[in-house]
């Protein structure tokens, strides 16, 4: 599954276009490398996403199917680290 689709289906980011834009702008990393929206996500990948007010590190636990129900979306990843930016 493409990275932008994974971020949308797992509800980490609300819209696929927003997920693609964040990848294009360099706010999403896999390991220590900038991730492309077309990257094929695999179980065990570690994603680091820089949001407006925080940085969150995730581990991919499972790959969702298209049209995943909202109530089980959080089962596809685990949060490894979450830190807020200094203001």
- Domain edges within the chain: 3-84
> Could you report the per-residue pLDDT of 9-46, keeping only the tens digit for each?
999 999 999 999 999 999 999 988 999 999 999 999 99
Percentage of residues in the chain with pLDDT exceeding 90?
82
> Would you list the DSSP string of 24-56?
HTT-EEETTEEPPTT-B--TT-EEEEE-SSEEE
Cα–chain center distance at 68: 15
User: What fold, for 3-84?
Assistant: 3.10.290
């Amino acid at each position: 599954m493409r990275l932008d689709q994974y971020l949308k289906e797992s509800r980490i980011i609300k819209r696929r276009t927003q997920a693609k834009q964040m990848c294009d702008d360099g706010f999403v990393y896999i390991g220590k490398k900038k991730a492309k929206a077309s990257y094929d996500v695999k179980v065990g990948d570690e994603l680091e996403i820089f949001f407006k007010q925080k940085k969150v590190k995730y581990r991919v636990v499972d790959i969702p199917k298209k049209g995943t129900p909202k109530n089980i979306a959080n089962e596809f990843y685990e949060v490894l680290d979450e830190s807020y930016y200094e203001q």
